Amino acid sequence: MIGKALEEFFIRIWVVVKLTLIFWLLALSGLLVLGIGPAFKVVTELYLEHGFEYKSISVKQAYQVFKRDFLRANLIFWFYTALSLLLAYNLYLSVQIQGLMFIVIDFILFFGITYLMTAFEYSMIFDSQFDIGFGNLLKMSFISNFISFKTYLKLLFGIVVICVLTWRFKGLILFGLIGLLQVYSLSVTKDWRLKIEEQLAE
């Protein structure tokens, strides 16, 4: 019993490590600038398809998905990155100014940045699971945060905790960050994705 539980635990750890290493391999293949988005998409799709079946997760399939979704994944990634950088720059300018009104603006901008983080996660997950156009993908991702606010809070909390852990233990950047993020995100959004799947099937 204990042996089986330990085996399951180490298999899950290995899947997280394997997914993260595949991410960095693909991100470097795209020279980071053009590789991070597609690599993120690959990790999401691999885990969505294979779960913790570590033997089924292969570098060959990863490269196939990377090449297939290269342009679309970069479009999604840089769309959210551009919006996030715009909000972050405005937040940076806003915190320089004192006053109650600017504290409210700071809060709104900060909320916007966290909202974009979770919307990006939704976009990567939905794009890996459903066959939908880019415009509808963005709409579904933005709306999901409001319709399932509880899931949004869980998703945001998990992302923050994983980032804090990574800050404390820098080795996770190379061996665990992306794998942990996607395993957690897919787990948290499972119920909401099933509801969407049912609605699309009608």
pLDDT band at 196 (very low <50, low <70, confident <90, very high): confident
Residue-range definition of the domain harbouring residue 100: 2-201
Q: Kindly state the percentage of the chain with pLDDT values over 90.
A: 65
pLDDT at 159 over 70: yes
Note the pLDDT of residue 124. 95
Q: What mean pLDDT do residues 64-79 have?
A: 96
Note the pLDDT of residue 99. 74
Q: For tokens 């060959």, what's the residue?
A: 60
Query: Which stretch of 79-88, 94-103, 106-115, 176-185 has the lowest confidence by average pLDDT?
Result: 94-103
Average pLDDT, the chain: 90
* Closest residue by Cα to residue 41 from 16, 80, 74, 12: 74
Q: What mean pLDDT do residues 12-32 have?
A: 94
Instruction: Please state the domain count of the chain.
Output: 1
